[in-house]
Amino acid sequence: MKTLTANDVVPSEGEQTIETKRRNAIKGAFFSEYIDMFDIYLPVVVLSPVLAFFQPPHLSGGMETILASLVFITTLLGRPIGALLFGMVADRIGRRKASIWSVSGFGVVTLLIALLPGYESIGIASYWALVLLRFVDGIFLGGGYTGAMPLAIEYSKKAQRGFVGGFIIAGFPAAYVSINLVAMLMFWLFPLSGMHSPYAQWGWRIPFVLGAVLAGALAMYYVHKVAESEIWKSEAAEKADQPEKLPLTDLLRGKSGRNLLQVLVMMTGFWLTQNIITIFLPTGLLVKTLHLSGFQMTFTLMITYFVLFFSYIGSGMLAQVIGRRRFFAIVGPLIATVGAALLYVLANVDGLSLAAIIGLVCVLAVLVTSPWGVIVTYINERFVTDVRATGFGVGFSLSVIIPSFYAFYMDWLSAFMPLRLTSVVLLCLGGLIGAAGALMGPETKDVDF
């Protein structure tokens, strides 16, 4: 009996109308972002309370912090590698295959993490296995959107690209809300009270198994429902008789190289502002400065991310009307002024009620993260078809590295100003860098693929 391959299973060209292909590709990209972010946040939300399960007992506080950070940093380091590798796969072999391979990969790795034994069973090897698997997971996760998002944008109608890009990235807040709901359910069903309690021994594993199952379902969706990009196939057919070149070669030189540099500058700024909201604000501001309880912080963030689901889509649609370059050029300075002022109030004004904090956080998050409703579409429009996936993956992921060390920058700035002002300064700087990077490039909303 013949074994079915990805190319065999997908419906034939005659069985799928272009509208069906468009809808399936867009839904696939949304769920790719959703499941990617679901698996990214698993260690942050589900595993953080029980990292001691993998570590030697009686560690110093400083060593615990270092070991905990490695679990997340290694995933971060893996993402640009995955974006580059799977970006080249998507440009040379096809967007659809890159999506299937990467999603299948992080599904398997997530399942392996769920099966890891603890320190009491295999010693320190347990911790290093976790770190290694998170690094490999980061590679596959970095490739997860590199094929799926260009595929969806290439299928989108030009007038709907703004909505599609915003809708795809809305999978991020949807995943954040989902993983927190799952975590709350796990904590309720399996109380955490020491490393021998039900949650520490096996309760945390259930969300990882769920993440693996979701990845498997997405891989099957791409196998059975999603057709390869018509634009990529046309381009590949035209160049079939030409000598093959690595997409990275074309990406780093000429016009594509200049486009990549511009995208990296812009994304460095907007990653910096994004990290202030998604990483510093929950832990450094809401907990350490405003002293919210765990429940109050979770409640605030759940409302905020619920609002962000809709604001991302709204940003994409607004930029479709006024232009993506103009949107960035307007929002960047607004982040540097209005956003910085809101962050200053949260960090320095005492006696704010919970309702006031929730309102300020929602407005701040909507403003500061609004560029992300536009970024997916914009970066894809900045590159030609034969390097689009590689350009998108590298431009999106490589630019995260410098902003990720924001805590070190805050520490350096604290030598010159109060620590509470350092996040405000970085937010201002990030908004200005993002706007300057956008102004280095052209308007893209009328680009033809």
pLDDT tens, residue by residue, 123-144: 989 999 999 999 999 899 888 8
> In the prediction, which pLDDT does 250 show?
73
Instruction: Break the chain into its structural domains and give their ranges.
Output: 10-233, 247-444
Q: Which residues contact 426 (CB under 8 A, 6 or more apart)?
A: 272, 276, 406, 409, 410, 413
Distance between CA atoms of residues 53 and 149, nearest Å: 37
- pLDDT tens string 256-268: 899 999 999 999 9
Range scoring the smallest mean pLDDT among 52-61, 209-218, 401-410: 52-61
- pLDDT tens string 185-218: 988 898 888 788 888 888 999 999 999 999 999 9
In angstroms, the first-to-last Cα distance of the chain is 41
**Does the pTM exceed 0.85?**
yes
| CATH assignment, 247-444 | 1.20.1250.20
- Neighbour-count burial of 230, counting CB atoms closer than 10 A to its CB (0-12 exposed, 13-18 middle, 19+ buried): middle
Distances (CA, A) of 151 to 197, 295, 388, 422: 45, 40, 10, 40
Q: Which residues contact 350 (CB under 8 A, 6 or more apart)?
A: none
Q: How confident is the model at residue 240 (pLDDT cuts 50, 70, 90)?
A: low
> In the prediction, which pLDDT does 15 show?
62
| Token pair recorded at residue 424 | 């405000």
Which of 27-41, 288-302, 352-366, 381-395 is modeled with the greatest confidence?
352-366
Q: Domain 10-233 belongs to what topology?
A: Growth Hormone; Chain: A; (1.20.1250)
